Structure 1
């Protein structure tokens, strides 16, 4: 019996195998960063986590920088998919959509100890690694633009506020709670952080306060 070489496999099968290996390596990189930190994560630590050779890691990502850059992109894609799904599942109402986005920021899939460790490891290096900054800017802008657009509609009924004010304050408070959850996890929880951010949202838009309280409880 002859065994097909990888070159003889159907294209679909080769792609599936390649996607599986890439995912395996990205997951291993995440685990290595959480366990060792960004600086001490190497092709060797990733290969060891994945149970593969360093040569496989080099084949798919070329270098440590390439591997880490794609790990950050994968992390942002998960975040992107999470808030966009929450937005799509919400009713066609700006108030419900902002509440959905706030809740999505603290969902267990996105806001958990390992994920926060990964975020802050990369953000600490953005100043020195332009690739990281470019990825962050790309994905953050998409989220910020949608939040700003929704808040602009809602703030039009308030006095002395605009969409920039509301969206900036919401996102700054969310960022602050992420930092607190990462550095002082014993002092708060994602549930408390969600509730506090929603209370801020209610204070910023008093004409919507009753509905925000009702929708937040759902």
Structure 2
């Protein structure tokens, strides 16, 4: 009797990564369509075109699956703003504008993705795994904004730079909420222009460049 040879380790690893990514993408689609509470291993498996057993094999529980999906969502967001910074070069004004405008990139800021972000944020208080993932990624981006603000205000202390960074974050978060709740009254382009106007107000010495 011929016994089939086991797949090479590399192929097994690639297949596993493909299945996990397939399930994560299906999770995000399920949350957008059904909400967080009604997203289950079963709805995700159906969305992915896989058996529920496959979903259980890779993620063990709904919480693990949702946490993996949130991390994937943050990975995409993280890559977007880091790539924007890399393209902006070394000038701190260009870097700050790029970082803020990255929040309104259509791949990140769209109706489906915003619905998923707010679904997760609404559960952070009750699911510590979600809060831990958010804190990890938010710390990196917050640190990047504070560093740029400190560079733009060399005579100021770190607390002032931190306050400016917090104001910027609060504004962009607020525009995300407006776009999510009142999409018919708001647009990504309008929100991006308003965010740059705020930067110009907070940093008047760079206003002309930020209003470009």
The number of aligned residues is 210
The Cα of 1:129 is off from its aligned counterpart by 0.3
The Cα of 1:210 is off from its aligned counterpart by 1.5
Correspondence for 1:29: 27
Q: Assess, with a 3 A threshold, how the Cα gap between structure 1 residues 4 and 156 changes in structure 2: closer, same or farther.
A: same
Correspondence for 2:166: 168
The Cα of 1:3 is off from its aligned counterpart by 7.8
Alignment of 1:176-195 (within 5 A): 176-195=174-193
Secondary structure, counterpart of 1:187 in structure 2: coil
Q: Note if contact 1:157-1:207 (Cα within 8 Å) is conserved in structure 2.
A: no
Alignment of 1:1-218 (within 5 A): 4=4, 8-156=6-154, 162-214=160-212
The Cα of 1:165 is off from its aligned counterpart by 2.3
Distance 1:2 1:112 in 2: 53
Displaced runs of 4 or more, over 6 A: none
- 5+ residue gaps in structure 1? none
Secondary structure, counterpart of 1:110 in structure 2: coil
TM-score relative to the length of structure 1? 0.92
The Cα of 1:114 is off from its aligned counterpart by 0.8
The Cα of 1:173 is off from its aligned counterpart by 0.5
Q: Note if contact 1:83-1:101 (Cα within 8 Å) is conserved in structure 2.
A: yes
Q: Note if contact 1:94-1:154 (Cα within 8 Å) is conserved in structure 2.
A: yes
The Cα of 1:168 is off from its aligned counterpart by 1.1
Secondary structure, counterpart of 1:162 in structure 2: helix
Distance 1:211 1:47 in 2: 49
Q: Deviations over 1:107-157 (max 9, x none)?
A: 001001111000000000000000000000000000001101101121336
The Cα of 1:61 is off from its aligned counterpart by 0.4
Q: Assess, with a 3 A threshold, how the Cα gap between structure 1 residues 187 and 3 changes in structure 2: closer, same or farther.
A: farther
Distance 1:53 1:84 in 2: 36
The Cα of 1:195 is off from its aligned counterpart by 0.4
Q: Which stretch of the first structure deviates more once superposed, 191-200 or 162-171?
A: 162-171
RMSD: 1.6
Distance 2:210 2:119 in 1: 34
